[in-house]
Structure 1
Amino acid sequence: MTKRRFRGLPGYLFLSIWALFSLFPLYFMVVSSTNTSAAVLGSSMLPGGELMNNISKLFAAQDVWGAMATSFYIAIGTTVLALILCSLAGYGFEVFHSKGKDRLMAVLLLALMIPFAATMIPLFQLFARVGMINSIWAVIIPAISTPFLIMLFRQSSRSFPHEIIEAARIDGLSEVAIYARIYIPTMKATFAAAAVITFMMAWNNFLWPKVILISGDIFTMPMLIANLGGGYVVDYGVLMLGVLLASLPTMVIFFILQRQFAQGITGAIK
């Protein structure tokens, strides 16, 4: 028994070292938010006493609450709509049978190869024609249906017990009722994984909100951080505090759903 424990010691030591490397940026971010700009530039590794001063500077220079509310509105709206639409698409691709669905799925997967920069200008022109410039919905709509999420739900649906669907149809349940009462509870791990991915992508999105929200009256947390680093003189203590505040929601969401996230990525169904 003792020999087995010593055999696993190198693996645990290796993982511990990599865990320290992974946690170091977070530690440096937290420590830097409590120090002055000069201390941050000097790579100080010890906590300072400038946290309250940095907080007052940050909230005096930027509308943090407004940016936080906008980011939450965009991230939550995108996540909810994306889960509904992409799960319906993945469910339909796997449950219903037709000759052209595999070809259509192949076309959707080809869309993964198209960089967003190639579609950004046509998207901007489209929203400009319908009068949705400077609209939060112009940020949300392009992200509510992605080929990756559709593929994720379709692949997870392959391990979904189809016998349950047939039994539910015999009992007289409609397709909507089967989706809402059977499919969603059974696929909750996949929904959790998709929610984490979508929320993080929507929260951290910078390029498209920067392009479409051109007035400057509405801005997200990534845009706020860019504003902090865009002046002639950058206060790195305040900047790191802004980065810390912008990182907290995604870290909380991931820690809450980390177990379901791992199950959903591996396609596990309970």
Structure 2
Amino acid sequence: MLNAAVKAISQILSPPMRSILWRSIGLALVLITVLAIGLQRLLSWFAEYGEVWAEAMLGPNFHTTLNVVSWIVSIAAGLGVVLGAVFLMPAITSLVASLFVDDVADHVEREHYPAEQPGVALPLAIAMTEGVRTALLTILVYLVALPFVLFAGAGFIVFFIATAWLLGREYFELAAMRFRSPEDAKAMRKDNAATVFTAGLFIAAFVSIPIVNLATPLFGMAFMVHMHKRLSGPRPELLEPARRSDVSVV
């Protein structure tokens, strides 16, 4: 697994990948700016008007609780852009990855697995659906964990574990769906849940590094292409003709 991570890191810096890298970084910066500003505006609105609305709905007995929630949200709104840049990055990388999944996978397969049959490009609709679903789920999980971050350091552990699980499953399924149906890819991911989650920890660590995390779509996809190959094992139909004949003789 460490070897796969090293290969992925070295390849995202290679000349063939640079064009994809710059395009993914540019798109990620645009998306993170738009979403971070949107988050700040939303939290500001909620802090100002949400408390009044919630108290009218729940009654005066919840006044103190709502005051505390409003205070938390006000702090979050003040840090909206910063929080957005940090906590929304995994969601952003999910969206960006869905657009560049095949470009990255093609480069990895050609360089490291030239003798094997290349994967089939995913339909854009499927790739985008997976990316949007993971992005929305990531935002939901992070919003649930946000109060724990503000009150206890354990929240950061929740963030890290959630990121590993979410990004690990997305990147692995995207890599697997180049060779399998979506149903088979999900089944394979479930059958290897522990390995995929452990691999997701590498991606979670990568996405937690400022600036460097802009390259997460390339690293995550390249890494999981290697992991899918490893978990798939040798398949006779993908071997070179000479090796296929050896297998048949055995």
Q: Do they fold alike, i.e. is TM over 0.5? A: no
TM-score normalised by length of structure 1: 0.28
TM-score normalised by length of structure 2: 0.29
Greater helix share, structure number: 2
Higher RCO (CA < 8 A, seq sep 6+) = 1
